[in-house]
Amino acid sequence: MPEGPEIRLAADKIAKVIEGKQIDDIEVGLPHLHQGAERLKGHTVSHVETRGKAMLIHFNNQLSIYSHNQLYGVWMTAKRGEMPNTKRSLRLALHTAEQSALLYSASDIGIYQLKELDEHPFLRKIGPDILKPNLTWQTIRDRLLSKRFCNRSVSALYLDQHYIAGIGNYLRSEILFAAGIHPDYKPKQLSEKQVAELAKQTLLISKRAYETRGHTVPNALAKKLAKTKGSYESVRFMAFNREEQPCRQCVSPIVKAQRNGRRIYWCEICQPLV
């Protein structure tokens, strides 16, 4: 499933095509969208927003399109009249005079009044968006130490959208590695310094993934790895998907395990369970 940085990048791409533009025509591939779509034709997209793994397209008539890609959804853009060559099912197409924003394969899509979004079943439950501009590491620290979250393993917490929205499986491994925290620790078991570092790395790694289109390695190391001409996947991460490969910090082999039904990776030397 795409994580917060990937959804924000998709939103950026869509915004370039439709933000500030009038939507001349709309195609829908799900019956429940027909009525709402008619109310959007002829109106202008005011802005495109993300909240965690959900995308919101807001219109000047106080209506919004909510979509969640889940596992298979994907947004594409194209010139008006030039549809992508894909076997995916078209769920939603927003056409301006010159370009189109197209959502394929997703099923969790709805059209809402702007004021209804705060009560949306998904949106009303999630924590702050990890890429929200005014989110601080202090806010993350406070959430880690709150009664609601402090007694849960960080491996579970970093998949829970109620804690922070937009973090998923690869970011979980990368954030914990960067902070030097073993996945089985609970926030209440960590020192004040460790909690602060975890909060700071949560923000830093997520922003880096967005800014570099999916890479979480530090910038200096990324430049060195780029010279090795390795595959995209082989140079992206510090720990995730690197089972039995040497740790980039201490050369001990990265281990892989299952936590909370998902694969997770860490270094037993750099992330000790004491």
Q: Give me the domains of the chain, ranges plus CATH numbers.
A: 4-119 (3.20.190.10), 137-266 (1.10.8.50)
pLDDT, tens digit (0-9, with 9 covering 90-100), for 170-223: 999 999 999 999 999 999 999 999 999 999 999 999 999 999 998 999 988 888
Question: Which pLDDT does position 86 carry in this prediction?
Answer: 93
Question: Which pLDDT does position 150 carry in this prediction?
Answer: 98
Better-scored residue on pLDDT, 225 or 270: 270
**Residue 43, pLDDT above cutoff 80:** yes
**Residue 229, pLDDT above cutoff 80:** no
Distances (CA, A) of 259 to 52, 157, 159, 184: 21, 11, 10, 9
**Residue 6, pLDDT above cutoff 80:** yes
Mean pLDDT estimate for the chain? 94
Distance between CA atoms of residues 237 and 139, nearest Å: 26
Distance between CA atoms of residues 47 and 85, nearest Å: 28
Annotated active-site residue in 8, 53, 91, 141: 53
**Residue 1, pLDDT above cutoff 70:** no
99 pLDDT tier (thresholds 50, 70, 90): very high
Is the CB of residue 233 less than 8 Å from the CB of residue 216? no
Is the CB of residue 75 less than 8 Å from the CB of residue 94? no
Better-scored residue on pLDDT, 164 or 2: 164
Distance between CA atoms of residues 52 and 135, nearest Å: 13
231 pLDDT tier (thresholds 50, 70, 90): confident
Q: Is 3 a catalytic residue?
A: yes
Question: Which pLDDT does position 241 carry in this prediction?
Answer: 95
Question: Which pLDDT does position 68 carry in this prediction?
Answer: 92
167 pLDDT tier (thresholds 50, 70, 90): very high
Q: What angle do CA 160, 161, 167 make, to 5 degrees?
A: 85
Q: Is 2 a catalytic residue?
A: yes
Q: Is 119 a catalytic residue?
A: no
Q: Is 262 a catalytic residue?
A: yes
